Structure 1
Amino acid sequence: MEGVNDTKTALVTGANKGIGFAIAAGLGALGFRVAVGARDDVRLAEAVTRLQAKGIDAFGVALDVTSDDSVATAAASLSRLDVLVNNAGIGGPMPQDPTTLDLDAVRTVLDTNVFGVVRVTNAALPLLRKAERPRIVNVSSNMGSLALRTGPIMAAYAPSKSMLNSLTVQYARAFEGTNVVVNACCPGYVATDFTGHASQRSPEEGAAIALRLATLPDDGPRGGFFDDEGVVAW
């Protein structure tokens, strides 16, 4: 059990690399104590060591968002939580042509990108509700936008982000009248393992919008979908 102190605590899922790691580093630089969530023990330990080398108060939390038991154990290991960033996500196997789509592949993507968010969020809610200014950030993608229709055809991944956006709205409605603020963000096309590093945009640039939403004032937006330029049409 992590000790109780006055420092705000943030949990970032899928934080061992890429955008998740950049979000964890950014929150740490803002003074948060950062719980680094990841399912690979070796990569988790390496990520925590790298963050601590930057002077960040970070600790590891073994967390597989597709496992009820893992999520419950992770939540029980925390004594405080002020910010939750649901960053863990997968693209799923390719190709994802809707006319030949493997439904098992769809289920696999949804289990991480959507069901995983529900598992973690609901397990974290008892702690978040105790926080003074709890914030939840769901890392989405403009590929889930019905209006923009960006990126390649990915008939498992893109709809999972559409559903995540809709789920964010449902949570925002459920939290109406409370101090729990939830929004979704699009980090953009970032140079990560996910994109094959085929971009000039850094993980730190991609993390910026998540950091803004994680530190919104009490009168900030709720249930929105944002990128660097503002509201994303979806």
Structure 2
Amino acid sequence: MSERTIALVTGANKGIGYEIAAGLGALGWRIGVGARDRQRRETAVEKLCAAGTDAFGVPLDVTDDASVAAAAELIAEQAGGLDVLINNAAITGGMPQTPTTVDPSTVRIVVETNVIGVVRVTNAMLPMLRASASPRIVNMSSSVGSLSLQTTPSIDMGPVPVAYLASKSFLNAITIQYAKELSGTGILINCGCPGFTATDLNGFSGVRTPQQGAAVAIHLATLPDDGPTGEFIDDAGAVPW
């Protein structure tokens, strides 16, 4: 990585996203804090800066084309480029969410944020990433999106919201295709699973801290140039697709 690496973390105003920003900031990186809510974004930036991170706010709604385009322009102006993109922003769509009762609009809304939002942001940031010496893209996924684990009879994945689960399977598939298309460009793109982390997505019922959940993203963001691409990992190693 260059001496002054620039990273954008989406959904960075709280939870895992905030801890990813803090962890990368501790490495001396300059961090764009992507978030929709102005007050939460500004509060996060202030907190990060007080802790010594060089952070700046990036107004960003991943579901809105104009917002994403404006974010790319702001990063180019504020930082002069981008080296690392962490696609962390996500929603569950609420509970309960079973296949036979879920409102189709809920599925659409979840996919719009968790999948299409990733595509929208990634493609908007790609020109800057292509110009980076060591570009990295990290898509924050979940083991609940693993079709292999979903179809293993001995594994109980719990009452996972069906739209959220399907969105992470979709995200995994998209990541594989990005890795194939970007092969040989130097851009490494991987999925990271943070584990069952206590965040507002699960009512803080997770058993891992946001800082623990952020570790896999920090690892993937700092991969060496000969590191893997198109993989799905957690702290223990490979997660089956």
TM tier relative to shorter chain: over 0.9
Matched, 1:148 2:149: yes
Structure 2-normalised TM-score?
0.93
1:55 aligns with 2:52: yes
Q: What residue number does 2:123 align with?
A: 122
- The code of the aligned residue for 1:164 comes to L
Instruction: Verify: 1:196 aligned to 2:193, yes or no.
Output: no
2:158 and 2:215 map into 1 onto residues whose CA distance is: 21
- AA of the residue aligned to 2:210: P
1:41-74: CA deviations, max 9, x gaps? 0000000001001100000000000000000000
Secondary structure at the counterpart of residue 75 of structure 2 = coil
Amino acid at match of 1:160: S
Q: TM-score, normalised by structure 1?
A: 0.96
Q: Secondary structure at the match of 1:194?
A: helix
Alpha-carbon separation, structure 1, partners of 2:3 and 2:67:
27
Tell me the CA shift for residue 151 of structure 1: 3.4
> What's the counterpart of residue 71 of structure 1?
68
The AA in structure 2 aligned to 1:39 is R
Question: For 1:101-134, what per-residue CA distance to the aligned partner results, in whole angstroms no more than 9, with x for missing partners?
Answer: 2110000000000000000000000000000000
User: Does the C-alpha gap of structure 1 residues 203 and 27 become closer, same or farther in structure 2, counting only changes over 3 Å?
Assistant: same
Shift in Å at residue 196 of structure 1?
1.4
Other-structure match for 1:98 = 99
Name which of structure 1's ranges 92-101 and 33-42 shifts more when overlaid on structure 2: 92-101
Asked whether the equivalents of residues 143 and 151 of structure 1 are also in contact (C-alpha less than 8 Å), the reply is no
CA distance in 2, matches of 1:56, 1:19: 16
Where does the alignment leave 5 or more consecutive residues of structure 1 unmatched? none
Of 24, 37, 52, which residue of structure 2 is paired with 1:40?
37
CA contact (8 A) 1:65 1:120 kept: yes
- Contact 1:19 1:203 survives alignment (8 Å): yes
Query: Distance between the aligned counterparts of 2:71 and 2:172, measured in 1?
Result: 25
Offset, 1:219 = 1.2
Which is worse superposed, 93-102 or 33-42? 93-102
Are the counterparts in 2 of residues 184 and 226 from structure 1 also a CA contact under 8 Å? Answer: yes
Give 3-state SS (helix, strand or coil) of 1:173's partner.
helix
> CA 1:199 to 1:6, structure 2 compared with 1: closer, same or farther past 3 Å?
closer
Matched letter for residue 121 of structure 1: T
Distance in 1, matches of 2:198 and 2:101, equals 29
SS state at 2:7 partner: strand
Shift of 1:93: 2.5
Matched-pair identity in %: 60
* Mapped contact 2:94–2:161 kept (Cα < 8 A): no
Secondary structure of the 1:58 match is strand
Say if 1:10 and 1:82, in contact at 8 Å, map to a contact too.
yes
Indicate if the aligned counterparts of 1:226 and 1:232 stay in contact, CA closer than 8 A: yes
Give the counterpart letter for 2:223 in structure 1: L
Given the alignment, which residue of 214, 222, 241 partners 1:207? 214
Whether 2:20 is the aligned partner of 1:20: answer no
Residue identity opposite 1:70 in structure 2: S
Give the Cα separation in 2 of the matches to 1:159 and 1:65: 19
Please give the secondary structure, in 2, of the residue aligned with 1:78.
Answer: helix
Please report how far the alpha carbon of residue 154 of structure 1 lies from its aligned counterpart in structure 2 after TM superposition.
1.6
Is 1:174 matched with 2:181?
yes
Distance 1:7 1:222 in 2: 23
Q: Partner of 1:225 in structure 2? A: 232
Q: Which amino acid aligns with 1:195?
A: N
Q: Take 2:99 and 2:179, find their aligned partners in 1: how far apart are those partners?
A: 31
**CA distance in 2: counterparts of 1:93 and 1:152, whole angstroms:** 12
Question: Per-residue deviation at 1:7?
Answer: 1.6
Give the secondary-structure state (helix, strand or coil) at the position aligned to 2:202: coil
Letter in 2 for 1:144: G
